């Protein structure tokens, strides 16, 4: 069982209508255009107008991202696929053929499996690569993609450790130098209702921000039953969510969506420190690797504001996913797109799919030769999430400067089937954060 690729992380509904005014926006999301308006502009794409797209990771999100890219621009074709498992590749091909129709143009010799699949897909003539594997592999993939001169759609989170984040930061800078676009899978940055709410808050609708509460209280996710013929590495890669070196833990893999909004509210200025708690109460079996099932973290900024951030993955409990922003003149609920207090406001505009809009922004940038680069916030928000994880694991207060200097690197450089990293559930007070 996988999460639906197009599922909105907080379960909001979306419609497919465009909003033309956003065509002019050149802010954080660059040249985001309305889906239909862009479709009309690029409807004549043919021959050299074709944008060739390669997909890495044929899972729920990867297949969804391929569909979003094709929807964003009828001149896009999926022309190559890389997937570590042969059977998942075959299943993915079937689904993609069906969902992409004529935009599926993947010959068999452009389908690559195994650990070398990334290098092989990068050697093809694709223009854009969609990176949608478990995030532990992302830094190496991102670096290689930029070195190979490809535009990148990079799913969140971008890494699982500080060394990985800094590698992606460097690759994002290199992309700028090479005129390549980098678009992040932090999809809420592209949601028109969330974006409008952020604009209201930033223009003073609730006064000065005093504090933020981020809740991502949700149920458990999928688990594949380990099979007798799986090696330890199969066991970890197939159930990657539960291994810190592959997913970063759920505070990084999932809660990043909320922490990114706290970062956005601070104009992408990172917190100076954090501390907090966490643990595993329900998912205690070894099938669940080494991750926690709940975290509660306090982030502090230099301006004195704080973010109280809680996430939990447990079934049959109270669920709530929302960003509450408390200001001197009112409060906001970012996901609900509502403001109350001295000013009352709610977003009434259209809500095209934010997943499509990410790819509209990417394809617009490529076609107009106006590169877009989401590298800054996607890296900082990943680091913020890792910082919270390390604070909870260690039981210590951790600073941003410590994160930026940390030499922590999880997972093998070159994974192979067979043996896998030995994992241990971190115990606060005993676990040590790797500073240098």
Ligand X SMILES: NC(=O)c1ccc[n+]([C@@H]2O[C@H](COP(=O)([O-])OP(=O)(O)OC[C@H]3O[C@@H](n4cnc5c(N)ncnc54)[C@H](O)[C@@H]3O)[C@@H](O)[C@H]2O)c1
Q: Which residues of the shown chain bind ligand X in the complex (CB under 6 A)? A: 2-3, 9, 56-62, 82-85, 88, 117-118, 132-135, 137, 155-156, 185, 187, 237, 253
What is the number of the residue whose Cβ is closest to ligand X? Answer: 59
Q: How many CB atoms lie within 10 A of CB 225?
A: 8
Task: Tell which residue, 416, 431, 354, 394, has the closest CA to residue 29.
Answer: 354
Tokens of 216: 């991502």
| Least separation in angstroms between CB 436 and ligand X | 28
Hey, what's the torsion of the CAs at 104, 108, 109, 114, to 10 degrees? Answer: 100
| Least separation in angstroms between CB 229 and ligand X | 16
d(CA 117, CA 122): 9
In the complex with ligand X, which residue's Cβ is closer, 210 or 233?
Answer: 233
| Least separation in angstroms between CB 218 and ligand X | 13
| Least separation in angstroms between CB 3 and ligand X | 5
User: Cβ contacts of residue 286 below 8 Å, gap of 6+?
Assistant: none
| Least separation in angstroms between CB 320 and ligand X | 18
Task: Tell which residue, 143, 261, 157, has the closest CA to residue 213.
Answer: 261
Q: What angle is formed at CA 12 by the lines to CA 194 and CA 383, rounded to 5 degrees?
A: 55
User: Cβ contacts of residue 319 below 8 Å, gap of 6+?
Assistant: 217, 218, 219
In the complex with ligand X, which residue's Cβ is closer, 62 or 371?
Answer: 62
In the complex with ligand X, which residue's Cβ is closer, 75 or 135?
Answer: 135
| Least separation in angstroms between CB 244 and ligand X | 14
In the complex with ligand X, which residue's Cβ is closer, 133 or 310?
Answer: 133
In the complex with ligand X, which residue's Cβ is closer, 52 or 257?
Answer: 257
Task: Tell which residue, 273, 270, 319, has the closest CA to residue 297.
Answer: 273
Tokens of 413: 């450089």
d(CA 348, CA 325): 20
In the complex with ligand X, which residue's Cβ is closer, 85 or 324?
Answer: 85
d(CA 253, CA 135): 8
In the complex with ligand X, which residue's Cβ is closer, 73 or 83?
Answer: 83
Rounded to a whole number, what is the distance in angstroms from the first to the last CA of the chain?
39
In the complex with ligand X, which residue's Cβ is closer, 3 or 41?
Answer: 3
| Least separation in angstroms between CB 414 and ligand X | 11
| Least separation in angstroms between CB 247 and ligand X | 7
| Least separation in angstroms between CB 259 and ligand X | 13
In the complex with ligand X, which residue's Cβ is closer, 9 or 371?
Answer: 9
């Amino acid at each position: 069982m996988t999460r639906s690729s197009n599922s909105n992380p907080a379960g909001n509904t979306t419609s497919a209508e465009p909003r033309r005014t956003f065509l002019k926006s050149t802010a954080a999301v660059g040249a985001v255009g309305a889906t239909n308006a862009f479709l009309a502009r690029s409807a004549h794409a043919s021959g050299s107008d074709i944008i060739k797209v390669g997909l890495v990771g044929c899972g729920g999100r990867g297949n969804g991202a391929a569909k979003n890219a094709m929807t964003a621009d009828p001149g896009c074709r999926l022309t190559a696929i890389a997937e570590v498992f042969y059977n998942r590749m075959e299943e993915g091909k079937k689904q993609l053929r069906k969902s992409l129709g004529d935009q599926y143009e993947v010959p068999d010799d452009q389908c690559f499996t195994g650990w070398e699949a990334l290098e092989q897909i990068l050697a093809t003539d694709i223009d854009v690569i969609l990176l949608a594997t478990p995030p532990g592999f992302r830094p190496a993939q991102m670096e290689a993609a930029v070195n190979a001169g490809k535009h990148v759609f990079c799913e969140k989170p971008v890494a699982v450790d500080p060394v990985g984040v800094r590698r992606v930061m460097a690759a994002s800078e290199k992309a700028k130098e090479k005129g390549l676009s980098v678009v992040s899978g932090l999809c809420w940055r592209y949601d028109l209702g969330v974006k409008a709410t952020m604009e209201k808050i930033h223009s003073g609708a609730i006064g000065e921000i005093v504090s933020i509460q981020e809740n991502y209280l949700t149920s458990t996710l999928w688990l594949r039953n380990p099979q007798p013929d799986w090696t330890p590495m199969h066991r970890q890669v197939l159930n990657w969510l539960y291994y810190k070196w592959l997913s970063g833990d759920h505070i990084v893999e999932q809660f990043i969506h909320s922490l990114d909004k706290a970062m956005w509210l601070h104009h992408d200025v990172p917190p100076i420190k954090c501390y907090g708690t966490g643990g595993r109460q329900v998912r205690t079996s070894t099938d669940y690797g080494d991750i926690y099932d709940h975290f509660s973290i306090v982030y502090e900024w230099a301006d004195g504001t704080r973010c109280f951030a809680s996430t939990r993955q447990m079934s049959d409990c109270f669920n709530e996913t929302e960003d509450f922003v408390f200001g001197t003149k009112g409060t906001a609920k970012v996901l609900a797109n509502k403001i109350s207090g001295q000013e009352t406001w709610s977003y009434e505009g259209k809500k095209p799919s934010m997943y499509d809009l990410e790819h509209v922004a990417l394809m617009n940038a490529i076609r107009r030769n106006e590169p877009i680069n989401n590298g800054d916030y996607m890296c900082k928000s990943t680091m913020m999430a890792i910082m919270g994880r390390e604070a909870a694991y260690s039981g210590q207060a951790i600073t941003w400067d410590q994160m930026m200097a940390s030499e922590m690197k999880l997972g093998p450089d070159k994974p192979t089937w067979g043996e896998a990293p030995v994992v241990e559930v971190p115990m606060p007070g005993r676990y040590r954060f790797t500073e240098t």
